Amino acid sequence: MRVVLLGAPGSGKGTQAQRLMADHGLPQISTGDLLREAVASGGELGQRAKDAMDAGELVSDELVLGIIRERVTRADCGDGFILDGFPRNLAQAEGLEPVLAAINQSLDAAVLLAVEFDVLMRRLTGRRTCSVTGKLLNIYFSAQSEIDACIDAGGELVQRADDNEQTIGNRLKVYREQTEPLIEYYRSAGLLQVVDGEGEVDAIYQRLLDCLGLNPA
Ligand code: AMP
């Protein structure tokens, strides 16, 4: 199954993609994660991406499409994948089509995780990652036991460099201007599904599984 997860920053794409990966073996392909790795490794690709990321702007389509082209042709994508944070604009969505056609694949669904603006803000400003387990947490929403588990494992709650208020504002603006048009793009292609992305992570996950037909009847 080949799925695009659509949604604003903070809509929960990463969290839900991680669960789909764990339960259904579908690799999560997060361009944001791949770009952050590239920045951390200090190579040329990362250097080209860093300024745009720090400002909350989109990295160039050419660079991101190159990353996707390389990633979807790896062996672990043979049975499908979840695209998380890609495509981010129409040029990327259109660019994805020949990449998939070249490997005789096509998308099965584009799922929009729908979340109101004020919830997005709290999710983004409260978002942390455990430095030991890599688990995504939120200082406003996560259970104290989950936060304690990170601390007890010797971890720290790390905030992403671009999760500060100014960059968050810009990322949401970029989403509205450049990424939201993809909702119509995938609706026209007959691929769009909309899932209510608010509430408990487990309940959202069940709605996502239902819409992908992955819940046992
Ligand atoms: P994310 O982790 O998906 O929120 O992405 C973090 C940042 O990485 C974004 O604000 C962009 O600067 C960059 N980025 C991630 N995915 C893309 C993409 N598909 N196209 C362009 N830039 C991207």
The answer to whether 48 is a known catalytic residue is no
Look at residue 217 in the predicted model and tell me its pLDDT: 65
| Catalytic, out of 2, 127, 128, 135 | 127
Out of 19, 36, 171, 207, pick the active-site residue: 171
Q: Give, using CA atoms, the residue closest to atom 2 of ligand 1.
A: 32
Res 136: pLDDT: 87
Phi/psi zone of residue 154: left (φ > 0), alpha (ψ -120 to 50 degrees), beta?
A: left
**Ligand 1: which residues within 6 Å by Cβ?**
9, 31-32, 35, 52-53, 56-59, 64, 85-86, 88, 92, 162, 171
For residues 10 and 127, the answer to whether their CB atoms sit within 8 Å is: yes
Catalytic residue selected from 36, 88, 128, 135: 88
CATH for 2-115+179-212 (3.30.1370.100, 3.40.50.1000, 3.90.320.10, 3.40.50.300): 3.40.50.300
Alpha carbons 160 and 213: distance in angstroms, whole number: 33
Q: What is the whole-number distance in angstroms between the Cα of residue 55 and the centre of ligand 1?
A: 11
Please give the Cα distance from 103 to 78 (Å, whole number).
10
Q: What is the pLDDT of residues 146-192, one digit of tens each?
A: 999 999 999 999 998 888 888 999 999 999 999 999 999 999 999 99
d(CA 129, CA 119): 19
Residue-wise DSSP of 10-22: TSSHHHHHHHHHH
Asked if residue 129 lies in contact with residue 135, where contact means CB atoms within 8 angstroms, the answer is yes
Atom 15 in ligand 1: residue holding the nearest Cα: 32
Which residues in the chain come in under a pLDDT of 70? Answer: 217
Domain locations along the chain: 2-115+179-212
Phi first, then psi, for residue 28 (nearest 5°) are -85, 120
